[in-house]
Amino acid sequence: MTDKKFWDKKIETLPRRELEKYQLKLQNNELAFARRGSPYYKKVLPKTKLKSIEEIAALPFVTKQIIREHQQAEKPFGDMVAVPEREIVYISASSGSTGVPTSSPFTAQDFEDFIDCQARLFWRSGMRNTDRYIHALNFSLFIGGPCVLGAQKLGALSIHAGSIPSERLLNFVKQFQPGWTWTTPSFAWYLGETAKKAGIDPAKDLSIRNIICSGEPGGAIKETRENC
């Protein structure tokens, strides 16, 4: 498994023309599914099929505020969900820092597809089944589950740490010697500062060499990358 180049060779090696044809087919299937099951999307989506990928740009744009308003008008999920509640198996939610939290409901298939997407992300980033991964993002309502399960799917040893105090996380890192982690840029920076205060040199004494950042901006900033 460690010597293969692609996570899904059939999809990832399609010629551009064939890939766009496949993407267009999937997009039209999704639009039809949304129109069929969601009162909201039945009103706002066009009834005709898209003829090209470029036409996606003309579809109505959905903001977080729109989602929040519709979920509050018809609790708990609003009229944007395209499946009955009996098919929903998982819910994540935003922090609510800018208002009422917005929820993201998942079906079992959604969840499996998400896990596979995360596995592909890890694989393309260089993670293999010989690696160790420590998940350092919040599990509380935030979509943390599929991330760590994606690492498990490709065979990496996965440690479900979540958002624990930095001192405890450092203890896990020293004990299990993971080479990978996923966290926010600010927490990665803070973890390094905490290590230095404890007399630990992050570059020499810690095993982490690959940090995936999300949850907030900053991962692409030069100073942040250098200090993480």
| pLDDT value at residue 163 | 79
CA distances from 105 to 3, 119, 146, 185, 201 (A): 36, 21, 13, 27, 42
pLDDT bin (cut points 50, 70, 90) of residue 138 is: confident
Look at residue 95 and tell me whether its pLDDT is greater than 90: no
Instruction: Using DSSP bridges, classify how beta strands 132-135 and 180-183 pair: parallel, antiparallel or unpaired.
Output: parallel
Look at residue 226 and tell me whether its pLDDT is greater than 70: no
Amino acid (one-letter) located at 107 = T
Q: What's the half-sphere exposure (Cβ side, CA atoms, 13 Å) at 151? A: 24
Same domain, 75 and 25: yes
DSSP string computed for 131-187: -EEEE-S--SSSS-HHHHHHHHHTT-EEEE--S--HHHHHHHHHHH--SEEEE-HHH
Q: How wide is the angle at C-alpha 150 spanned by C-alphas 179 and 96, nearest 5°?
A: 100
Look at residue 228 and tell me whether its pLDDT is greater than 80: no
User: Which range of residues forms the domain containing residue 42?
Assistant: 9-106
Between 19-33, 115-129, 137-151, the lowest mean confidence (pLDDT) is in 137-151
Same domain, 80 and 155: no
Last-in-domain residue among 60, 88, 106 = 106
Same domain, 116 and 207: yes
Look at residue 51 and tell me whether its pLDDT is greater than 70: yes
Check residue 210 and report its DSSP letter.
Answer: E
Between 20-29, 94-103, 179-188, the lowest mean confidence (pLDDT) is in 94-103
What SS3 state is found at 80?
coil
Same domain, 101 and 119: no
Last-in-domain residue among 43, 71, 106 = 106
Last-in-domain residue among 56, 88, 106 = 106
| pLDDT value at residue 128 | 95
Considering the domain boundaries, does residue 158 fall inside one? yes
Q: What pTM does this model have?
A: 0.84
Instruction: Using DSSP bridges, classify how beta strands 88-93 and 103-107 pair: parallel, antiparallel or unpaired.
Output: antiparallel
| pLDDT value at residue 216 | 72
Q: What is the number of structural domains in the chain?
A: 2
Look at residue 219 and tell me whether its pLDDT is greater than 70: no
| CATH at residue 175 | 3.40.50.12780
Same domain, 153 and 168: yes
Look at residue 124 and tell me whether its pLDDT is greater than 80: yes
The mean pLDDT value of the chain amounts to: 88
Considering the domain boundaries, does residue 2 fall inside one? no
CB atoms inside a 10 Å sphere around CB 205: 13
